[in-house]
Structure 1
């Protein structure tokens, strides 16, 4: 098997130059999906029989929660690749993924609280799903804080990667929490192994929003990784030439 692409992807300069080509298409895809999904979900989907219009916050809450979990795996896997193969771009991707994941987790917690007030009558309960999501938020912050605690970059990358990998045990706990414990949080409505319990008129715009959030995550991750590359490679000739060319 030819692993040339893998080694090229690990080159900061190659990644920066290639991602410049990807970004315009990703901008268009992200904007199209988010506009279509939000307009469909907020303006045209019917009101819920029990929750009325308050359920519409799922079009932000659910995609943000999905990406908070998936983004942690992206961060942890990037950290593992950097830890094992010492690939620079993987280390920079891990660093870039942490604040994005923290923001998504915060959005998930905040929108969940806004949804919970009219639905459950309270902003916050210490149930299994919400508490484990809060732990996820602290894990993201912990990876960021741990990296900033070291002055030596290689040591910072190793420590952050190890913490990220240890924290992956929390992801299946979050996912299965509503099945393992009695909680106020409702069970999953989007199911891949059986029929979903959400009406198609509400499901389709939600799926578009989920895909749109994945595109948004990819866009944000590439942009932040590019920033990390410029910071790390700022003394190299190609970055200096890039800066002079854009001046």
Structure 2
């Protein structure tokens, strides 16, 4: 079983490396420069996949938190905790790349646009999630409180996703679904989405495994101290 797991892990890493290499080639070599905004538009192929993975990570937190409260299984708690940490990283990068893009296109680093503000609120919610986990007196208490916050916090994700449709916003519309991308741009975006999704899966598997190991070490330490 361990050998099969190692093989699957190595295959996933190989796939991730190949997809990321292909994505970088397509972003910087294959896809043409956008006429209106120039080379800065290439950040789009990072910004959108980062946002997608951030939402995906928080969806995993949402589902895992529900399962933890239902089953009281440590594996679900480890999965939720690991995914929240990864989601924070990707959402932080979304805010950074979004600010760089905004400066180039709008001339300002930040505006209190509905989607931008919603993304920042989402970031703070999951920072709070990690703080609750980190400062709880007991691990089980932190897990329960974190699970509740992980479920409630996810309610902000569809608000952020639908912000453009719900409010007037400076943020670009969803040109992906409106057919506004040239075939080469769409192909580049899809490859980048696949690459970052596989990267997330690899990170999640590794982080969850580490969380489980930490929990087992803590259990052994507690048993020895009693």
Query: Using the alignment, how far apart are the partners of 1:172 and 1:77 within structure 2?
Result: 15
Number of the residue aligned with 2:17: 31
Asked whether the equivalents of residues 125 and 153 of structure 2 are also in contact (C-alpha less than 8 Å), the reply is yes
CA spacing shift, 1:17–1:177, aligned 2, 3 Å: farther
Return the match for 1:112 from 82, 98, 103.
98
Q: CA offsets, 1:63-97, max 9 Å, x none?
A: 00111111101011111111111122111011111
Alpha-carbon shift at residue 17 of structure 1 (Å)? 8.1
Question: What is the 5 A alignment of 1:95-134?
Answer: 95-134=81-120
Corresponding residue number in structure 2 for 1:223 = 206
* 8 A Cα contact 2:50 2:91, kept in partner: yes
SS of corresponding position for 1:233? helix
Cα distance in 1 between the residues matched to 2:81 and 2:6:
20
Structure-1 separation of matches of 2:22 and 2:155: 35
Aligned partner of residue 71 in structure 1, secondary structure: helix
- Per-residue deviation at 1:60? 1.0
Structure 2: unaligned runs, 5 residues or longer: 221-226
Query: TM-score scaled to structure 2, two decimals?
Result: 0.92
Selected match of 2:59 from 52, 55, 73: 73
Query: What is the alpha-carbon distance in structure 2 between the residues aligned to residue 151 and residue 17 of structure 1?
Result: 39
1:8-38 Cα offsets, whole Å, 9 max, x none, are xxxxxx9x88754421111111111111011
Contact residue 23 and residue 191 of structure 2 kept, 8 A: yes
Structure-2 change in CA distance of 1:17 and 1:97 (3 Å): farther
Partners of 1:97 and 1:231 in 2: CA distance:
16
Which of the numbers 42, 51, 67 marks the counterpart of 2:37? 51
3-state DSSP of counterpart to 2:112:
coil
Q: Which has the higher helix share?
A: 2
CA distance, structure 1, for counterparts of residue 36 and residue 160 of structure 2: 26
TM-score, normalization: structure 1? 0.85
Decide whether aligned partners of structure 1 residues 70 and 106 sit closer, same or farther in structure 2, where only a CA change above 3 A counts. Answer: same
Alpha-carbon deviations, 1:139-179, whole Å to 9, x = none? Answer: 11111000112121111111000001011210111011011
